[in-house]
Amino acid sequence: MKRIEPTYIEIEGHPIPAKVYLENRNNVRVSIGKTAAFLRMPIQLNKKEVKNQLGWFQRWVEAQFQNNDDLKNRFFPKSYQTGDILKVGERTYTLIINHENRSTSSAKLIKDGQIQLKLNKDLNSIQRSKSIKTLLSRIVGQDFRGEITLRVLELNAKYFRKDIKSVNLKYNSSNWGSCSSKSNINLSTRLLFAPSDVVDYVIVHELTHLIEMNHSQKFWDLVKAVMPNYKQKEKWLKEHGKFCDF
């Protein structure tokens, strides 16, 4: 397998990550995943055929984004400005964004729910968006950590009574939570945008892994015993999870 250009396809001024591969296959396959658009082609294609497929791939990606709000919400970065309001759960934050001559970017929570971000003025649009998302996730996660930790401990004491080494909030786009073999409960900061009962479900899900480190029938029976309507919470995450992000 060999990876080739392009690395991005521009859609409405937004660079969409693109991954193109030459593989041992007999057909061409295209798809759009969670983080990128993909093109897979037979390795035996000549340069002209590859060029034609790349052109077709770009047109195909453009067509997928036409009138598709789900894809736009997934790939188009939010454009934050000073004065914007970020609502997370029952809390609201006002953003203050400064572009400065500095090598790194930073953020801190100051008075009255204000988050002050100091950004490297030389960042391009992609770097700026990624930096803001990372900084907001970190600051908001720190602000919610005490509340979330308390809820994890409450649910653990009520239903599981297992030892917990730590409760951590960090940005994760691939899952909502995890439980390590060392009894660390990790929750994605994206979960903070979900209703409290959905948050409880993810916490229960991860706490259950303290008993069953798998997704066996026994695992799901334990989850159901604590939360009989857990499938409704999973459905909510599948339908609305794409909107839970910074």
- What would the pLDDT profile of 199-218 be if each residue is shown by its tens digit? 999 999 999 999 999 999 99
pLDDT of residue 15: 86
Judge if 135 and 24 occupy the same domain: no
Asked if residue 202 belongs to a domain, the reply is yes
Report the CATH number that the domain containing residue 177 is assigned in CATH: 3.30.2010.10
Which candidate, 77, 67, 80, places its Cα nearest to that of 107? 80
pLDDT of residue 4: 82
Judge if 119 and 65 occupy the same domain: no
DSSP 36-58: -EEEEEETT--HHHHHHHHHHHH
Last-in-domain residue among 23, 42, 75: 75
Q: How many domains does the chain have?
A: 2
Q: Which residues pair with 29 in a beta bridge?
A: 40
Judge if 228 and 120 occupy the same domain: yes
Q: Is the pLDDT of residue 5 over 80?
A: no
Other CB atoms within 10 A of residue 177 CB: 20
Cα(202)–Cα(193) distance, integer angstroms:
13
Rounded mean pLDDT, 98-112: 95
